[in-house]
Structure 1
Amino acid sequence: MITRRKEPFRYSMKEPVECQLELTTVNRMSFSGKLVPAKLIDISKNGCRIRSFLDLKASEHFIECRIHLRLNEENFIFPGHVRWQRIMDDTEYDYGVHLLLTDNEKEQINIQLRGLAAERKIKVM
Protein backbone atom coordinates (compact mmCIF):
# COMPACT_ATOMS: atom_id res chain seq x y z
CA MET A 1 0.00 0.00 0.00
CA ILE A 2 1.41 3.38 -1.03
CA THR A 3 0.16 6.43 0.84
CA ARG A 4 1.08 10.08 1.08
CA ARG A 5 -0.15 10.75 4.59
CA LYS A 6 2.56 13.36 5.19
CA GLU A 7 1.20 15.51 2.38
CA PRO A 8 0.08 18.91 3.73
CA PHE A 9 -3.57 19.93 3.73
CA ARG A 10 -5.41 16.65 3.61
CA TYR A 11 -9.08 17.40 4.20
CA SER A 12 -11.27 14.86 5.96
CA MET A 13 -15.03 15.08 5.45
CA LYS A 14 -17.06 15.31 8.65
CA GLU A 15 -19.80 13.45 6.77
CA PRO A 16 -18.81 11.43 3.67
CA VAL A 17 -19.74 13.26 0.46
CA GLU A 18 -21.69 11.39 -2.18
CA CYS A 19 -19.73 10.99 -5.40
CA GLN A 20 -19.50 8.61 -8.32
CA LEU A 21 -16.67 6.44 -9.58
CA GLU A 22 -16.24 5.89 -13.31
CA LEU A 23 -13.78 3.23 -14.44
CA THR A 24 -12.01 4.26 -17.67
CA THR A 25 -9.28 1.63 -18.13
CA VAL A 26 -8.43 -1.66 -16.49
CA ASN A 27 -4.95 -3.04 -17.22
CA ARG A 28 -4.53 -0.44 -20.00
CA MET A 29 -7.65 -1.63 -21.82
CA SER A 30 -10.45 0.91 -22.31
CA PHE A 31 -13.43 0.25 -20.17
CA SER A 32 -16.75 1.90 -20.83
CA GLY A 33 -18.40 1.59 -17.50
CA LYS A 34 -21.28 3.00 -15.58
CA LEU A 35 -21.06 5.53 -12.82
CA VAL A 36 -20.84 3.63 -9.54
CA PRO A 37 -22.07 5.28 -6.32
CA ALA A 38 -19.26 6.04 -3.87
CA LYS A 39 -18.49 8.29 -0.90
CA LEU A 40 -15.60 10.72 -0.57
CA ILE A 41 -13.88 10.20 2.80
CA ASP A 42 -10.91 12.57 2.45
CA ILE A 43 -9.14 14.56 -0.24
CA SER A 44 -6.02 16.57 -0.98
CA LYS A 45 -4.78 18.26 -4.13
CA ASN A 46 -3.02 15.03 -5.16
CA GLY A 47 -5.36 12.29 -4.06
CA CYS A 48 -8.47 11.14 -2.28
CA ARG A 49 -9.95 8.23 -0.39
CA ILE A 50 -13.32 6.94 -1.50
CA ARG A 51 -15.57 4.16 -0.25
CA SER A 52 -17.63 1.87 -2.50
CA PHE A 53 -19.41 -1.48 -2.48
CA LEU A 54 -17.44 -2.43 -5.62
CA ASP A 55 -14.54 -4.89 -5.14
CA LEU A 56 -12.02 -3.85 -7.80
CA LYS A 57 -9.22 -6.19 -6.66
CA ALA A 58 -6.90 -3.21 -7.07
CA SER A 59 -3.75 -5.11 -6.10
CA GLU A 60 -4.23 -7.31 -9.19
CA HIS A 61 -5.10 -4.60 -11.73
CA PHE A 62 -3.98 -1.17 -12.93
CA ILE A 63 -7.18 0.88 -12.80
CA GLU A 64 -7.68 4.37 -14.19
CA CYS A 65 -10.83 6.19 -13.22
CA ARG A 66 -12.68 9.46 -12.88
CA ILE A 67 -14.23 10.76 -9.68
CA HIS A 68 -17.46 12.72 -10.27
CA LEU A 69 -17.94 15.05 -7.32
CA ARG A 70 -19.93 18.10 -6.26
CA LEU A 71 -18.22 20.58 -3.92
CA ASN A 72 -19.85 23.87 -2.90
CA GLU A 73 -22.51 23.55 -5.60
CA GLU A 74 -19.85 23.12 -8.30
CA ASN A 75 -19.43 19.87 -10.26
CA PHE A 76 -15.98 18.38 -10.83
CA ILE A 77 -14.63 15.37 -12.68
CA PHE A 78 -11.18 14.38 -11.43
CA PRO A 79 -9.12 11.84 -13.40
CA GLY A 80 -6.86 9.48 -11.49
CA HIS A 81 -5.79 5.93 -10.86
CA VAL A 82 -6.39 3.56 -7.97
CA ARG A 83 -3.29 3.14 -5.79
CA TRP A 84 -4.60 0.87 -3.04
CA GLN A 85 -7.67 -0.96 -1.73
CA ARG A 86 -8.69 -1.83 1.83
CA ILE A 87 -11.68 -3.91 2.89
CA MET A 88 -13.85 -2.12 5.45
CA ASP A 89 -16.44 -4.84 6.04
CA ASP A 90 -18.13 -7.52 3.97
CA THR A 91 -19.83 -4.96 1.74
CA GLU A 92 -17.59 -1.87 1.51
CA TYR A 93 -14.05 -1.10 0.33
CA ASP A 94 -11.88 1.98 0.70
CA TYR A 95 -9.72 3.08 -2.22
CA GLY A 96 -6.82 5.47 -2.44
CA VAL A 97 -6.97 7.35 -5.72
CA HIS A 98 -4.02 9.38 -7.02
CA LEU A 99 -5.56 12.37 -8.79
CA LEU A 100 -4.02 13.52 -12.07
CA LEU A 101 -4.81 17.23 -11.96
CA THR A 102 -3.45 20.28 -13.75
CA ASP A 103 -2.10 23.17 -11.66
CA ASN A 104 -5.31 25.08 -12.39
CA GLU A 105 -7.47 22.16 -11.22
CA LYS A 106 -5.36 21.85 -8.05
CA GLU A 107 -5.93 25.53 -7.32
CA GLN A 108 -9.69 25.15 -7.94
CA ILE A 109 -9.91 22.22 -5.54
CA ASN A 110 -7.96 24.14 -2.88
CA ILE A 111 -10.37 27.08 -3.19
CA GLN A 112 -13.39 24.79 -2.81
CA LEU A 113 -11.86 22.94 0.14
CA ARG A 114 -10.90 26.12 1.98
CA GLY A 115 -14.54 27.22 1.61
CA LEU A 116 -15.77 23.93 3.08
CA ALA A 117 -13.24 24.24 5.93
CA ALA A 118 -14.52 27.74 6.71
CA GLU A 119 -18.06 26.31 6.90
CA ARG A 120 -16.75 23.57 9.23
CA LYS A 121 -17.92 20.82 6.86
CA ILE A 122 -14.43 19.34 6.70
CA LYS A 123 -11.41 19.26 8.94
CA VAL A 124 -7.80 19.81 7.97
CA MET A 125 -5.48 16.96 8.88
Structure 2
Amino acid sequence: MIRMLPGWPTSPGCFVWWKKWSTSTCVPGGVEVLSPDCGWPRVHVEADYSSSAGLGDWLSIELSLGTVGTSSLEWKFAVFHSERPVMRGRYVVVRVGKGGKPQAIPESERECLISGFSKGGDACK
Protein backbone atom coordinates (compact mmCIF):
# COMPACT_ATOMS: atom_id res chain seq x y z
CA MET A 1 0.00 0.00 0.00
CA ILE A 2 1.06 3.56 -0.57
CA ARG A 3 -0.15 6.80 0.95
CA MET A 4 -1.52 9.77 -1.00
CA LEU A 5 1.13 12.50 -0.95
CA PRO A 6 0.82 16.27 -1.38
CA GLY A 7 0.30 17.14 -5.03
CA TRP A 8 -1.52 13.92 -5.90
CA PRO A 9 -5.01 15.43 -6.16
CA THR A 10 -3.77 17.55 -9.07
CA SER A 11 -1.39 15.04 -10.63
CA PRO A 12 -1.81 11.32 -11.29
CA GLY A 13 0.01 10.05 -8.20
CA CYS A 14 -0.01 6.47 -9.42
CA PHE A 15 2.26 7.54 -12.26
CA VAL A 16 4.71 9.01 -9.73
CA TRP A 17 4.84 5.61 -8.02
CA TRP A 18 4.94 3.84 -11.39
CA LYS A 19 7.81 5.95 -12.71
CA LYS A 20 9.85 5.24 -9.56
CA TRP A 21 9.13 1.51 -9.85
CA SER A 22 9.64 1.32 -13.62
CA THR A 23 13.05 2.94 -13.45
CA SER A 24 14.32 0.36 -10.98
CA THR A 25 16.67 -2.30 -12.33
CA CYS A 26 14.26 -5.26 -12.26
CA VAL A 27 10.65 -5.99 -13.10
CA PRO A 28 8.64 -8.35 -10.88
CA GLY A 29 9.99 -11.83 -11.43
CA GLY A 30 13.60 -10.68 -11.31
CA VAL A 31 14.18 -9.94 -15.02
CA GLU A 32 16.81 -7.20 -15.37
CA VAL A 33 15.46 -4.23 -17.30
CA LEU A 34 18.43 -1.88 -17.32
CA SER A 35 21.64 -3.25 -18.72
CA PRO A 36 24.37 -2.10 -21.12
CA ASP A 37 22.62 -4.06 -23.89
CA CYS A 38 19.01 -2.91 -23.60
CA GLY A 39 16.47 -0.54 -22.13
CA TRP A 40 12.68 -0.46 -21.70
CA PRO A 41 11.28 2.98 -22.60
CA ARG A 42 7.62 3.73 -21.98
CA VAL A 43 5.70 4.01 -25.23
CA HIS A 44 2.10 4.20 -24.02
CA VAL A 45 0.34 5.04 -20.74
CA GLU A 46 -3.39 5.35 -20.17
CA ALA A 47 -5.64 5.54 -17.13
CA ASP A 48 -9.31 5.90 -16.35
CA TYR A 49 -10.26 7.49 -13.05
CA SER A 50 -13.50 6.22 -11.50
CA SER A 51 -13.49 8.00 -8.12
CA SER A 52 -11.31 10.23 -5.99
CA ALA A 53 -8.91 9.73 -3.13
CA GLY A 54 -7.82 12.39 -0.69
CA LEU A 55 -4.61 13.58 0.83
CA GLY A 56 -3.42 11.08 3.45
CA ASP A 57 -5.56 8.20 2.12
CA TRP A 58 -3.93 4.79 1.93
CA LEU A 59 -4.14 3.28 -1.56
CA SER A 60 -3.62 -0.29 -2.74
CA ILE A 61 -2.10 -0.91 -6.16
CA GLU A 62 -2.55 -4.15 -8.05
CA LEU A 63 -0.11 -4.85 -10.87
CA SER A 64 -0.48 -7.60 -13.45
CA LEU A 65 1.29 -8.58 -16.62
CA GLY A 66 -0.88 -8.16 -19.69
CA THR A 67 0.22 -8.95 -23.23
CA VAL A 68 3.79 -10.08 -23.82
CA GLY A 69 4.69 -9.16 -27.38
CA THR A 70 7.82 -9.85 -29.40
CA SER A 71 9.57 -6.80 -27.97
CA SER A 72 6.93 -5.24 -25.70
CA LEU A 73 5.31 -5.77 -22.31
CA GLU A 74 1.92 -4.50 -21.28
CA TRP A 75 1.45 -3.88 -17.56
CA LYS A 76 -2.04 -3.42 -16.15
CA PHE A 77 -2.64 -1.64 -12.89
CA ALA A 78 -5.54 -0.80 -10.62
CA VAL A 79 -5.63 1.56 -7.66
CA PHE A 80 -8.07 1.10 -4.78
CA HIS A 81 -9.03 3.08 -1.68
CA SER A 82 -10.68 0.88 0.97
CA GLU A 83 -11.47 -1.69 -1.75
CA ARG A 84 -13.22 1.02 -3.82
CA PRO A 85 -11.76 1.35 -7.35
CA VAL A 86 -10.08 4.71 -7.90
CA MET A 87 -8.21 4.18 -11.17
CA ARG A 88 -7.38 1.48 -13.73
CA GLY A 89 -4.87 1.69 -16.51
CA ARG A 90 -2.20 0.11 -18.60
CA TYR A 91 1.39 0.84 -19.40
CA VAL A 92 3.40 -0.46 -22.37
CA VAL A 93 7.19 -0.65 -22.52
CA VAL A 94 9.35 -1.83 -25.43
CA ARG A 95 12.71 -3.55 -25.16
CA VAL A 96 15.25 -1.62 -27.25
CA GLY A 97 18.89 -2.31 -28.07
CA LYS A 98 21.85 0.07 -27.95
CA GLY A 99 20.75 1.77 -31.17
CA GLY A 100 17.26 2.44 -29.81
CA LYS A 101 15.56 -0.06 -32.12
CA PRO A 102 13.07 -2.65 -30.79
CA GLN A 103 14.78 -5.85 -29.71
CA ALA A 104 13.07 -9.21 -29.23
CA ILE A 105 12.60 -10.31 -25.63
CA PRO A 106 14.75 -13.45 -25.15
CA GLU A 107 12.69 -16.60 -24.65
CA SER A 108 14.21 -17.20 -21.20
CA GLU A 109 13.09 -13.74 -20.03
CA ARG A 110 9.66 -14.17 -21.64
CA GLU A 111 9.11 -17.47 -19.83
CA CYS A 112 10.40 -16.01 -16.58
CA LEU A 113 7.95 -13.11 -16.80
CA ILE A 114 4.95 -15.23 -17.77
CA SER A 115 5.57 -18.05 -15.29
CA GLY A 116 6.79 -15.65 -12.62
CA PHE A 117 3.47 -13.85 -12.54
CA SER A 118 1.42 -17.03 -12.63
CA LYS A 119 3.46 -18.45 -9.70
CA GLY A 120 3.58 -15.32 -7.59
CA GLY A 121 6.96 -14.13 -8.83
CA ASP A 122 8.97 -17.13 -7.62
CA ALA A 123 9.72 -18.80 -10.95
CA CYS A 124 12.84 -16.76 -11.72
CA LYS A 125 14.67 -17.05 -8.40
- TM-score, reference length from structure 1: 0.32
User: Which structure has more strand as a fraction of its residues?
Assistant: 1
> Higher Cα Rg: structure 1 or 2?
2
- TM-score, reference length from structure 2: 0.32
